[in-house]
Structure 1
Amino acid sequence: MNQEQFHAALEALRAALSFSAPADAVLSRYFRENPKLGSQNRHFIAEAVFGVLRQKFMLDRICAPDTNPRRMLLAWLARGGRNLREFEPIVSREDERQFLSTVKAFKLDTLTLAERAELPEWVAAELSASGMADEAILALGRGLSQPAPLDLRVNLQKMKRDAVQTELAALGYEYTPTPYSPFGIRLAGKPAINRHTLFTEGVVEVQDEGSQLLGLLVAPRRGEMVADFCAGAGGKTLLLGMLMASSGRLYAFDVSEKRLANLKPRLARSGLSNVQPQRIESENDARVKRLAGKLDRVLVDAPCSGMGTLRRNPDLKFRQSTASVDELNAKQTAILASAARLVKVGGRLVYATCSILPRENQGIVEAFLASHPNFSLVPANEVLAEQKVELDTGAYLQLQPQIHGTDGFFAAVLTRNA
């Protein structure tokens, strides 16, 4: 660590701590504005910014009452195992030397449960109120504070998983097959896979294993009519299209033109011909209403707090609140009710979020079932067993990073009865 690295990391951290934009966007902009930074410096800066964000609740307490980005960065580096001699190039003031000598002695047992779990107090309170034990909250929070691995999904329309693994091995990549998804591969480290022909030719897509399992809950068949109701940039759309062997009709609905534009190059790489991206004004768009009662399968990957993705987006916990989740709950309720109208009798509706909060998950599903007696819950463990996936989290799919190695995901499988 040298002065240049430290000051660059501090500059990027100050920008990230404004929470005016997602941390990854802040870093991307910083690297664009500083193109002469070498790869080693960029790696150090990214690790430092995300490291501080992941441990911010603890660092706030360590640095109190003078909590500022410089002290937080120094504390994060010291807690990471660096000895005091390594700080000599960047620390000359006596008060900072004394501060560093106290950092390693900080006792974690002085922190609240939420602070130890690196979760906002309101999140820990909601989890506790749902019946989750303190130890489970702590384990979940610590799991969400670890960096996420790089998961790939193999496009079986182009190549089998074994063949992709053979090619990765020949290139010197370290990998393991994902434990649950039959078409997933987990890479060691963070190689730039997007530069490789496997990626540019659409053989693999970057997709968390939890997200891959959602496609297996939808389980679309060849020739069916299917909708990805909140398609976004289309990761799950491409998965559904692959499972349909590029047959039938697959609608990719979203209210954002920009997100659907991001789907276009991915769709072109995938080789799929059954996907129809369509921008809609809202969940009540006329194009949606025309399909009422006609679809075999509908996936609702609902807009949510993203609290299950803190491994990748640690800044989200500072940009969400109980009030923002209240607003999301209203959207989730409306979107699920609208999407349900598309499902034909005997058809399947899958509601999913990347949230760990019960009121975005079970709460929404239970309220929907209470107001829609023509729908019933299909146990997710039974659906996965039919797909030969050895994973049982009960009637709902509930994934947690410290247990399953995925982001925090929730999904419920519903069927429309006569």
Structure 2
Amino acid sequence: MAWENSKAHTPADRLANSEFRARRYLNAHERRWCAGHFFDAIRFRRKYQWLLSRLALAENPDTLLQLHLSLAPIATRPPHFQVIAGEERLQAAVAAMPTPDAPEDYIRFVLSFSDQLARSLLRLFPPDEAIRAAQAFNRRAPTILRVNPLLVSRAEFLRIHSDLRPTPWSPWGVYAPAGVNVYTLAGYREGWFEIQEEASQLSAFLSGVRPGDTVVEIGAGGGGKTLVLGALMRNRGRILAIDVHEGRLKELMKRAQHAQIHCVKPLLVEADETGRWQHRGRSWRRIEKIHTQAQCVLLDAPCSGSGVLRRSPDARWREVCIEEFSQIQRNLLLEAAPLVAPGGRIVYVTCAFEPQQNEEVVEWFLSSPAGRGFRKEPVLEALRRAWKHAAALVEKESPDRQRNDRKNTEDMPPLEALCAGDFVRTWPHRHDLDAFFVALLRRCE
């Protein structure tokens, strides 16, 4: 009921945490049980609506939850639970649901996606792969930690935590066991790690920043990518972290202090509803001073968030206007362009999969007057260089640089699998990664 009443304003994970804080008598197992069923009930809401209609039952939070538990494995149900409408009627309703032979209805109702998301997947993939992609978005994402190479190597961290294992794509990544409270792990208080998904880590690696650089991050948010930039720069240089939300910047600086990243300067800007900055005041004067000076501008663009549905099951039910996001993204690229030094780059990142927020925005920018001095950079070679550099920073075991370079090359994953033409595109059904898009735009010398 609480999510139904507040879903337009409160993300489900934040609401769940608030409810758990009010019920401290629940133990860890009970919280995991409640959270799992709560998020699955939201994730499959459209499927449950279809079944309730078929069963001629009213839709309300109680019937939605009862139906969810009726479809769950018997071992996960409460004691003495009664299946809604009776087992025979329920199974008959399930058997009547659309099949993969009608892929759009199957994705919409059985896999429980909005019409907009279902159509987007079917435009991107043939029907069978669109179904696999939707199924992968419905699976719960693994918890990924990112070690802080300023403080610890991944090998050392894994020696301390023998139950953890390395991730395949990021040399800084570590899988955490399902259900573990990562804040109780050794090294958390010392800033040895953060929670960060692999595709997000890779997008920050692609900045290619080095110690001493001047870097701008637009849309810095809570600072996940900012901390990667600071570690890549070994705390030498400067990062101007720009955002329109003061609370996010305050959280960023707390995290930076915890991770012992000292080269970050936060900057709060004002922007209109289309993303254009207000070119006045102290913040704008600070931005003007670094025009044409940044070796890299990382634009973590506001987007619909369709690429992180595994982690935000309620996001599929938010009403979003893709055209409004596209306009904001185009305007932020226009704000980013003057900041880039000759030979520098813009790294354009979204966690959305619709081309209207990705390829189409990049192509529009490159054809605009502001973008004609930029060109797309070959992404595979840049990704390989970025991976090797990141791997070398986190491997503190040997002073033999030549041997480490050879080891890094041997351990490198098949990064070409992440590349789609001129861009990086990651997918849960292909790579077990969130759906990220990354473009590299190099300013001509």
TM-score over 0.5 for the alignment?
Answer: yes
* Shift in Å, 1:68: 2.5
Equivalent residue, structure 2, for 1:120:
114
* Count of residue pairs the alignment pairs up: 398
* Mapped pair 1:370 → 2:367: yes
Amino acid at match of 2:117: V
Q: Give 3-state SS (helix, strand or coil) of 2:415's partner.
A: coil
| Structure 1 contact 12–30 (Cα < 8 Å) conserved | no
Q: Distance in 2 between matches of 1:325 and 1:333?
A: 12
How far 1:237 sits from its partner (Å)?
Answer: 0.3
8 Å contact from structure 1 (residues 353, 409) kept in 2 = yes
Q: Secondary structure at the match of 1:376?
A: strand
Residue identity opposite 2:367 in structure 1: A
How big is the shift at 1:32?
Answer: 2.2
After TM superposition, the structure 1 = structure 2 runs for residues 162-201 of structure 1, keeping only pairs within 5 Å, are 162-169=155-162, 173=163, 175-201=164-190
Judged with a 3 Å threshold, the aligned counterparts in structure 2 of structure 1 residues 286 and 114 are, in CA distance, closer, same or farther, namely farther
Judged with a 3 Å threshold, the aligned counterparts in structure 2 of structure 1 residues 83 and 149 are, in CA distance, closer, same or farther, namely closer
- Offset at 1:52? 1.2
Q: Does structure 1 residue 355 correspond to structure 2 residue 362?
A: no
Structure 1 counterpart SS, 2:206 = helix
* Offset, 1:14: 4.8
Question: Whole-Å Cα distance in 1 between the matches of residues 214 and 242 of structure 2?
Answer: 13
| AA of the residue aligned to 1:51 | D
Point out where structure 1 has 5 or more consecutive residues left out of the alignment.
1-10
Q: Distance in 2 between matches of 1:196 and 1:187?
A: 10
Query: What code does the residue aligned with 1:204 have?
Result: F
1:155 aligns with 2:144: no
SS in 1 for 2:187: helix
Tell me which residue corresponds to 1:341. 338
Cα distance in 2 for partners of 1:25, 1:225 equals: 35
Partners of 1:286 and 1:315 lie apart in 2 by 40
Maintained 8 Å contact 2:350/2:436 = yes
What is residue 59 of structure 2 aligned with on the other side? 67
Is residue 2:89 matched to residue 1:89? no
Structure 2 counterpart SS, 1:239: helix
1:227-306 equivalence runs, <5 A: 227-282=216-271, 283=277, 284=279, 285-306=284-305
Q: What is the alpha-carbon distance in structure 1 between the residues aligned to residue 130 and residue 230 of structure 2?
A: 37
Q: For residue 88 of structure 1, report the CA deviation from its aligned partner.
A: 7.0
- Say which is worse superposed, 147-156 or 108-117, in terms of deviation: 108-117
> Residues of 2 paired with 1:101 and 1:112: CA distance?
17
Please tell me whether the aligned partners of residues 214 and 293 of structure 2 are also in contact (alpha carbons under 8 angstroms).
yes
Q: 1:197 & 1:256 partners in 2: Cα distance?
A: 32
Give the residue type in structure 1 aligned to 2:177. Answer: A
Matched residue SS, 1:218: coil
**SS, match of residue 368 in structure 1:** helix
1:326 equivalenced with 2:323 (yes/no): yes
CA contact (8 A) 1:380 1:412 kept: yes
Provide, for residues 85-142 of structure 1, a one-character-per-residue CA deviation record: whole Å limited to 9, x for no partner: x67734498x56665454554545174433344321112223434x421122211111
What SS does the corresponding residue of 1:58 show, helix, strand or coil? helix
Q: Tell me how large the CA RMSD over aligned residues is.
A: 2.3
Task: Give me the TM-score of the superposition, normalised by structure 2.
Answer: 0.84
- 5+ residue gaps in structure 2? 272-276, 389-411
Question: Does residue 316 in structure 1 map to residue 308 in structure 2?
Answer: no
TM-score of the pair, normalised by structure 1 = 0.89
State the match for 2:405 in structure 1.
none
